[in-house]
Chains A and B, each alone.
Chain A
Amino acid sequence: MDFDVRPYNFTSATTSWLILLAILAGLGLVLPLASLAGRGGAAGLVDFRRGLISYLEDLFSLSLRRIAALASLTLKEAVRRKALLVFVMFAVLLMFAGWFITDSNERAELQVSVHVTFLLTAISWLLLPALIFLSCWALPEDIRLRSLHTVVTKPARRMEIVIGRMAGLGVVVAILLVVMGVIGQFWLSRRIPENARSALQCRVPLFGELYFISSEGQPQETGLNVGDVWAYRSHIPGNSRARAVYVFRGVDESALTRNEQGEEELLLECRFEAFRTVKGSESSIVKGISAQYTLSVNPREEAFGMLAQSEATRAIADALREGQYKTASAELKKLTERIRTAPGELRPADYFGLHFGMFVSGTVLENRKDPALGNLGRLFIEAALTGEGVTAALQQQERGEKVEIPYEAFAAKVDLVADGLTERSAVLMETLQRMEVPLPSFNVSEYHDLDESSTNLTRIPRRLRFVADYETLGRFLAAEIARKNDAGGLLADGALKASLTEELVKESRISQLNAERLVAVLGEQLTAGTLAVDAGKLKVADGRSWYLFFDDLIRREQLVSEDTEGWMIEKDLLQDLIQDPNGDRYLRVEVACINDQMYLGMARPDLFIRKADQPFWVGYWKAILSILLMLLLIIVLGVTVSCVVKGPVALLFTLTFFIVGQFFHDFMIRKLAGVEKGTGTVESMILIAQHRNPEVGMDVSSATMNVVRAADLGLDGVLRGFSMIVPDFAVFNRASMYVENRFDVPFRDVLLPSIVVFFGFLIPCILIGGALLKFRELEAK
């Protein structure tokens, strides 16, 4: 399943629409004005004014009752002209379809997908020709047979006729779709083999954003391209530092589901692709390639990861990621020394990587709005801006310009950052806490053909028990001991409470052995004077924080787990692993490939949080709604065009709009945005004629080339205009894609664009259609 849905920007779409509408309105006023004034002079202007007023009067005095009358006329016409025969074709199709598409040996989800795809496609493509024909032919036929004369000589406004036609055909198609939908639902529930019916699912996905961390630790937009497929999936190499990082936003209680025991859990479902460079053992072929999720809270990666872009700064980035701020500071100082003494040793890319990484770091730190961080973020940003000056100056120098490169100023600013890091290392350690929760590994089967040991569904309990790493353990113990200490629960008569071990086991949910070890170590530290008793409470004698106290103990291996499992601790998924620095709650999931010489491929929709499923039919009817909107839009276009041209021409127009909008709209947008490779129209034709490829270019003089390029620019302008007035019909297919892949159809990203596109065309089409019919002579010879 290779589909990805781009998040929909409603505001931007609405703004573009309003601009386009204003342009159309302007053209709609200027062209008739020029034409009338040109033909009739002052009298033409009077005619224009009269026509405009009359049009506006019509617009503001539309009668719903008349529209309803005209709509019901259309409905009767469709029924009595046997438009409902389409049901017969549908029924025949469904009766025999089972012979060809039902294969109970296939995987369940594939069987469901095949049936649903067939059904939704059959509904769309059966209705499409009937609707195009009805919408394009109805008005021209009325005009040809002069039935319309008896309507327009009544007080019916012509815009009401247009709306009435659209509404009537809309009701026809809605009825047809509802009936077909119901028949289809019945057919699906009966036709899909028993063993596959469990796959009639409507999974509610929460998709995230995806980026990659390379083997060298660089954050990247894409992973490796293994060359076996187009760029839909990116790969990470196995047994390396490379990770795919999914960031899921808006994770809250609603993202959780309950298992059979009634416990809350988070479901992660994947569709990764495995890519092998070696065959591997037989068992690995059967079981697939191993992958592992790690849930992580990693603000240091987010703040400093980008500094790893440049090789020169990678050591600094790694130190910062590990929370070794003083080391990072020292590395920065070394770097500034190199900038001052031998600036040429660093490549322009290094300067760019440094200033870009610092800008990201500064922005992330500033966005945290943490007063304890002081102006550290600002220092990063100022250094970045000075560094940008270095990069710009280097570019100018490369172009042969003589410029002063502000190395010294940059080095001075970076020094300030290094000093800031040293000063605030303790604060940074407290503020930028990292926690990683590795989950058990699982097997990813190639081609999603899962055997029993493979799974694509991972259940993560809300209460997570996991083996803590040093940092996490230190913070956990610090938090637990501080909490008990604040409540006065550690000491009794100036010594550690006798029941402390039991209380820690019960309250902090750590093992008996580890609790005993912890209490013993605390007792030793109290005896050694590292801990002191003050006002009935325990405190670190030298004033360090509890975290630094425990961190020190862990690093000195005094808190090595007594338990063979290690230090198992418990965390709440929503409270402890969802990050919320700016009210934007998100969960970070890192994916690693474990097997050496194997690759794991993934795209944004390949991993998602699976919320509680909806009944399959919810998604199914949403897809039907999307098909309805598409057919309604065809009606709107057909009726609008047929207001001014005859049936066959209207049919041709509408069909062209549909085909271009369905299959080429995205291409037009990509071509105009420069994403699509290739040359301009005229240039391409010349290249074809000359049997040359775009890399070589045309064999023409420079003057001719300029002319050709200018012509191509003009044609691009035409294409731009065309792309604006042709609806993106592909938007209506997305809902079906979701349902075919057993997903629920998200409202905001899928249904909303369909609704917006429909209404975006409906309103101007009514206005244009009304005007075309109003100012048209129905009896012109």
Chain B
Amino acid sequence: MSNAVIEIRNLSKIYRDFWGRKKVQAVKSLSMDVMQGEVFGLLGPNGSGKTTTMKMLLGLLFPTSGEMTILGKPASDVTKNERIGYLPEESYLYRFLNADETLDFYGRLFNMSAADRARRADELIEMVGLGKARRRQLKEYSKGMTRRIGLAQALINNPDLVLLDEPTSGLDPIGTREMKDLIIQLKAQGKTVVMCSHQLADVQDVCDRIAVLFQGELKVLGRVDELLELRNEMQMRTPTLSDEAMADIRQVLKKHNVSDVEFSRPKADLEQLFLRTVRESGERPGRRFSTEEVAASGRN
């Protein structure tokens, strides 16, 4: 098992009013670790405390009690930020800058040299696909483009720990897929990723472990594959079977006292359909696909 990159112990946060009176307790005695190299998902409904937790990790909010260490340093230590990348929920960037200037500005905050900043900016702009729009001010960007440049700024320092707040929010399915691929790529590079999201499918796709918060309390913590595994059912996948073959299989299973057997055709998910349609439309413009064609084209 790898070492903990984030350690949280008995973390609580109480929001108070101007007079110091308690308004709401957003986080209650939260304790958990995030290990190096994993993709960790923070889940929960609105108001569950996941964003508050992330902002406390970043030093935007101060905990009422409890301890946090990030990369071995207290959350209040600014130097920890040298190894952290943060993508906020909305891309709160300076809208009067263009993509180049944005990355250059954030690079300067890391005291990077001009050459390093230029090289890194080229890489990241290429990676997020904003090559053609790099000279346009961010106020002219669409929401998706803004998320991409936001992601680029989060990675400007080649961080060890990446904190992503709703990373797929505002992205189209292609962007969402790319974002998920990127998260997987970051994991492959040995980086630790912590993400908050309401898009449960996305979390399921990329996260190794998740924590589910509800009203400030930790309700579930564990590996995704373990948490989602249905231990009293089995699943078998084959090419299309004839009626006789299905009857034979039922017979065999019956011998083993399994009578509740169901045969059905597996379904591609909507994301896959969408990606495939877009790809093929690009290859063969002007063509419309019938339902039969889509169904016949299988799951590739």
Surface stretch bound by A, among B28-36, B52-60, B126-134, B201-209: B52-60
CA distance A304 to B15 in the complex (A): 78
B81 touches A153 (CB 8 A): yes
A780 touches B15 (CB 8 A): yes
Mark out the residues of chain B between 98 and 142 whose CB falls within 8 Å of any chain A CB in the assembled complex: 101, 105-106, 108-111, 137
Q: Which residue of A lies closest to B82 (CB)?
A: A155
B237 to chain A, nearest CB (A): 45
Which residue of A69, A81, A154, A779 is within 8 Å of B55 (Cβ)? A779
Given A58-B78, A777-B61, A781-B15: A147 touches B93 (CB 8 Å cut-off): yes
Name, among B62, B79, B108, the residue most crowded by chain A CB atoms within 10 Å (CB to CB): B108
Given A150-B153, A777-B60: A66 touches B96 (CB 8 Å cut-off): no
The number of residue pairs between A and B whose CB atoms lie closer than 8 Å in the complex comes to 84
B172 within 8 Å of A (CB atoms): no
Q: Which residue of B lies closest to A43 (CB)?
A: B65
A544 within 8 Å of B (CB atoms): no
A149 touches B60 (CB 8 A): yes
B94 within 8 Å of A (CB atoms): yes
B40 within 8 Å of A (CB atoms): no
A145 to chain B, nearest CB (A): 6
Which residue of A50, A66, A151 is within 8 Å of B76 (Cβ)? A50
A65 touches B96 (CB 8 A): no
CA distance A153 to B85 in the complex (A): 8
A151 to chain B, nearest CB (A): 7
Residues of B within 8 A of A258 (CB): none
B92 touches A66 (CB 8 A): no
Residue-wise interface mask of B (260-283) relative to A, using a CB-CB cutoff of 8 A (1 in contact, 0 not): 000000000000000000000000
CA distance A260 to B210 in the complex (A): 93
Mark out the residues of chain A between 68 and 104 whose CB falls within 8 Å of any chain B CB in the assembled complex: 68-70, 72-73, 76-77, 80-81
B105 touches A73 (CB 8 A): yes
Residues of A within 8 A of B181 (CB): none
14 extra interface residue pairs, beta carbon distance < 8 Å, beyond A70-B109, A147-B92, A155-B111: A54-B77, A65-B111, A69-B108, A73-B94, A149-B58, A152-B58, A153-B58, A153-B60, A154-B106, A154-B110, A155-B81, A777-B60, A778-B61, A779-B61
A780 touches B61 (CB 8 A): yes
Query: Which of under 10, 10 to 19, 20 to 34, or 35 or more describes the interface residues of B?
Result: 35 or more
Residues of B within 8 A of A157 (CB): 78
B78 touches A66 (CB 8 A): no
B97 within 8 Å of A (CB atoms): yes
Residue-wise interface mask of A (53-64) relative to B, using a CB-CB cutoff of 8 A (1 in contact, 0 not): 010001000010
A156 within 8 Å of B (CB atoms): yes
B111 touches A63 (CB 8 A): yes
Q: Which residue of A lies closest to B77 (CB)?
A: A54
B88 within 8 Å of A (CB atoms): yes
Q: Which residue of B lies closest to A81 (CB)?
A: B96
Residues of A within 8 A of B88 (CB): 146, 149-150
CA distance A48 to B20 in the complex (A): 18
A66 touches B109 (CB 8 A): yes
B109 touches A69 (CB 8 A): yes
B97 touches A76 (CB 8 A): yes
B90 within 8 Å of A (CB atoms): yes
B284 within 8 Å of A (CB atoms): no
Residues of A within 8 A of B55 (CB): 779
CA distance A152 to B20 in the complex (A): 25
Q: List 10 A-B contacts (CB under 8 A).
A: A77-B94, A77-B96, A80-B96, A80-B137, A147-B93, A149-B92, A150-B150, A154-B106, A154-B157, A157-B78
Q: Which residue of A lies closest to B109 (CB)?
A: A154
B86 within 8 Å of A (CB atoms): yes
Please list the 5 inter-chain residue pairs (A to B) with the smallest Cβ-Cβ separation, ordered nearest first. A69-B108, A146-B92, A80-B96, A154-B109, A153-B86
A76 touches B101 (CB 8 A): yes
Q: Which residue of A lies closest to B139 (CB)?
A: A80
A700 to chain B, nearest CB (A): 38
CA distance A72 to B114 in the complex (A): 15
B23 within 8 Å of A (CB atoms): yes
Q: Which residue of A lies closest to B92 (CB)?
A: A146
B23 touches A66 (CB 8 A): no
B84 within 8 Å of A (CB atoms): yes
A628 to chain B, nearest CB (A): 25
Residue-wise interface mask of B (42-85) relative to A, using a CB-CB cutoff of 8 A (1 in contact, 0 not): 00000000000001001111100000000000001111011010
Mark out the residues of chain A between 248 and 262 whose CB falls within 8 Å of any chain B CB in the assembled complex: none
Residue-wise interface mask of A (132-167) relative to B, using a CB-CB cutoff of 8 A (1 in contact, 0 not): 000000000000011101111111110000000000
Q: Which residue of B lies closest to A151 (CB)?
A: B109
CA distance A160 to B14 in the complex (A): 29
Residues of A within 8 A of B101 (CB): 76
Given A153-B81, A154-B109: A147 touches B94 (CB 8 Å cut-off): yes
Q: Which residue of B lies closest to A164 (CB)?
A: B109
B80 to chain A, nearest CB (A): 8
B82 to chain A, nearest CB (A): 5
Which residue of A50, A66, A150, A151 is within 8 Å of B111 (Cβ)? A66
Q: Which residue of A lies closest to B107 (CB)?
A: A69
B86 touches A150 (CB 8 A): yes
A175 to chain B, nearest CB (A): 17
Q: Which residue of A lies closest to B104 (CB)?
A: A69
Q: Which residue of A lies closest to B16 (CB)?
A: A780
CA distance A70 to B111 in the complex (A): 12
Residues of A within 8 A of B61 (CB): 777-780
A152 touches B15 (CB 8 A): no
Mark out the residues of chain A between 15 and 50 whose CB falls within 8 Å of any chain B CB in the assembled complex: 39, 50
Residues of B within 8 A of A156 (CB): 78, 109
CA distance A65 to B108 in the complex (A): 7
A145 touches B92 (CB 8 A): yes
A77 to chain B, nearest CB (A): 6
Residues of A within 8 A of B76 (CB): 50, 54
Residues of A within 8 A of B15 (CB): 780-781
B107 to chain A, nearest CB (A): 9
A154 touches B94 (CB 8 A): no
CA distance A146 to B137 in the complex (A): 18
Residues of A within 8 A of B108 (CB): 65-66, 68-69
B117 to chain A, nearest CB (A): 10
CA distance A150 to B76 in the complex (A): 16
CA distance A80 to B95 in the complex (A): 10
Residues of A within 8 A of B94 (CB): 73, 77, 147
A161 to chain B, nearest CB (A): 10
Given A66-B108, A69-B109: A152 touches B23 (CB 8 Å cut-off): no
Residues of A within 8 A of B81 (CB): 153-155
Given A65-B108, A146-B90, A150-B86: A155 touches B78 (CB 8 Å cut-off): yes
CA distance A70 to B157 in the complex (A): 17
Residues of B within 8 A of A50 (CB): 76
B115 to chain A, nearest CB (A): 14
B114 to chain A, nearest CB (A): 10
Q: Which residue of B lies closest to A65 (CB)?
A: B111
Name, among A66, A73, A778, the residue most crowded by chain B CB atoms within 10 Å (CB to CB): A73
Residues of A within 8 A of B150 (CB): 150
A150 touches B106 (CB 8 A): yes
Q: Which residue of A lies closest to B84 (CB)?
A: A153
Which residue of B59, B93, B97 is within 8 Å of A152 (Cβ)? B59
Residues of A within 8 A of B23 (CB): 781
Residues of A within 8 A of B84 (CB): 153
Residues of B within 8 A of A145 (CB): 92
Residues of A within 8 A of B90 (CB): 146
Which residue of A70, A76, A80, A777 is within 8 Å of B62 (Cβ)? A777
CA distance A155 to B83 in the complex (A): 9
Q: Which residue of B lies closest to A79 (CB)?
A: B96
A692 to chain B, nearest CB (A): 43
Residues of A within 8 A of B79 (CB): 155
CA distance A155 to B71 in the complex (A): 14
CA distance A145 to B108 in the complex (A): 21
CA distance A146 to B76 in the complex (A): 19
Residues of B within 8 A of A80 (CB): 96, 137
Residues of A within 8 A of B20 (CB): 39
B67 to chain A, nearest CB (A): 12
